[in-house]
Amino acid sequence: MPLPHPFIDGHLDLALNGLALRRQITGPLEAIRAAEADNLGPFDTATVTLPDLRAGGAVMVVSSLLARCRPWRVKSGQIGVAAGDFPDQDGAYAAAAAQLAYYESLERRGEIRLVRSADELPAADAMLAPDEPLPLLAIFEGADPVRDPDDLHRWHRMGIRSLMLAHFGRSVYAHGTPAEPDDAHPNDVDGPLTDAGRRLLPEIEALRMPLDLTHLSDTALYEALDSFGGVVYASHCACRTLNPDWQRNLPDDVIQAISQRGGVIGLPLHSPFLVKGYQRDTPREACNLDHVVDHLDRLCEVSGSDAHVALGTDMDGGYGLEYTPTGVDRSADMPRLAERMSERGWSEDAIGRVFAGNWHRFWSANLPA
C-alpha cells in the first residue's frame, strides 16, 4: 500500500450511516462488516469509518444532514426510521436536527471537530496528528428540513454552511434527479425549481452560502445557474459525456459554468456513475481506478485545468463495496487512487490539488471568517 496522501472528502453521509443504518462508525470497519454479515442487502457492504478515513489520509470531510419531505413515499406506522422520507417538513426538520446532534455528540467525544469558519479549516498539505479529531463540515443534502427562509438563518447559526435544494426526486424546493428506474415514481421526474425554491435562493445568497448543484434535475439545474448569483459547486458528480446513463452526471457546459464561477466539482466513487451500462448484475471488476482517472481527466479537460476538480466519494451513501471501483475497498485505500493517478502521468502537485488543495481553497474563500 502506498503512503497516505492528505485528502478532503467533499461528500459523505456519516450521520445517515450512524443513525439510519445503526453503524458504529467510530470503530473498526471489520466490526461493522461482521455485525452486518447476515442482514445486508446485496450491494451494501460498509466501506467507511472514522478510523479508516484517517488511515487513508483524510484531513477533513464534508458530511450531510439528509431528510426528505416526500409524503407520496411514506408508509405511516413504520417505527424506528431515523432518516429518510417524511410526510411533512416538521419530520424532516426533526430528523436533520437529530443528525446534527449526532455530529455534536461525536465532537464532544473528541472523534470529530465541527468546522464552521475559515479559520477552523485544517492544513491541506499535512496529515492530522494521531490524537487530533477529524474536521467535519456539515451541509444539507436536500433542503427539505428548511421549513421557511427564517429557518435557513437558524440552521446557519447552528453551523450548516451549504445546501442542495433537492435529493432524488421532487422536493419542496426543486425537482431532483430521478431515482433508479426500478424505484421510479410519477413525482420523480425532471422539472424546474418550485416557487418556494425561487424564494429561498436570495436568502442563500444573502448568507453567502455556496449552492451545491448536485442532485438537481436538468431543468432545475439550469434555472438555478441562471437565477442564483452566489457561489456554485457540485460536491459529487461525474461526467455525462463519459456516461450519459445518469442525469446525476454533469454535461460539459455545466462543468464549464461551475469552473468559470470559481466552483469545484467533486467526483464520486460510485461505479454506475462512472461506467456506461453498469447494472445491478454487472461484475464489480467492470469498474476500476482507471475509470475514476478517466473522469478526473475529463473534468480537467472541460474546465480547462485541475483547479476545479476534487473528490466527493459519497462512499456508503446508499451503496457499498459492491458498487465501488475495484482498488478502493474502503476509505483507507485512497492512496491507491493517488498511485494510479501518478502512473497515469499526474504530477504530485496536481494530485495534491485534487486530493485536498482545491477543496481547501474553495472553503477558505466561502466560509465565514
Tens-level pLDDT at each residue, the chain (369 residues): 787 899 999 999 999 999 988 999 999 999 999 999 887 666 689 999 999 999 999 999 999 999 999 888 777 766 555 458 899 999 999 999 999 999 999 999 999 999 999 999 999 999 999 999 999 999 999 999 999 999 999 999 999 999 999 998 899 999 999 866 555 677 778 899 999 999 999 999 999 999 999 999 999 999 999 999 999 999 999 999 999 999 999 999 999 999 999 999 999 999 999 999 999 899 999 999 999 999 999 999 999 999 999 999 999 998 999 999 999 999 999 999 999 999 999 999 999 999 999 999 999 999 998
Residue 80 confidence (pLDDT): 52
CATH number of the domain enclosing 242: 3.20.20.140
Residue 74 confidence (pLDDT): 79
> Does residue 2 belong to any structural domain of this protein?
no
DSSP for 92-150, written as a single string: HHHHHHHHHHHHHHHHHTTSEEE--SGGGPPPSSSPPPTTPPEEEEEEESSSTT--SHH
- Which cell is 20 given? 439510519
Burial class (CB in 10 A: 0-12, 13-18, 19+), 295: buried
CA 113 to CA 311: how far, in whole Å? 20
Residue 83 confidence (pLDDT): 54
CA 344 to CA 290: how far, in whole Å? 9
Residue 233 phi, psi (nearest 5): -160, 180
Beta-carbon contacts of 344 under 8 Å, excluding residues fewer than 6 positions away, are 290, 293, 297
- Which residues does residue 61 pair with via DSSP β-bridges, in sequence order? 9, 136
> Does residue 98 belong to any structural domain of this protein?
yes
Which three-class secondary structure state does DSSP give residue 232? strand
CA-derived radius of gyration, the chain: 19
Spatial contact of 60 and 8, defined as CB atoms under 8 Å apart? yes
Domain count, the chain: 1
> Does residue 112 belong to any structural domain of this protein?
yes
Q: In 170-185, which positions are buried (b, 16+ CB within 10 angstroms) versus exposed (e)?
A: bbbbbbbbbeeeeeee
Q: In 209-245, which positions are buried (b, 16+ CB within 10 angstroms) versus exposed (e)?
A: bbbbbbbbbbebbbbbbeebebbbbbbbbbbbebbee
Q: Which domain holds residue 351?
A: 7-366
Residue 189 confidence (pLDDT): 85
| DSSP letter, residue 235 | S
CA distances from 243 to 22, 153, 235 (A): 33, 38, 18
Residue 72 confidence (pLDDT): 81
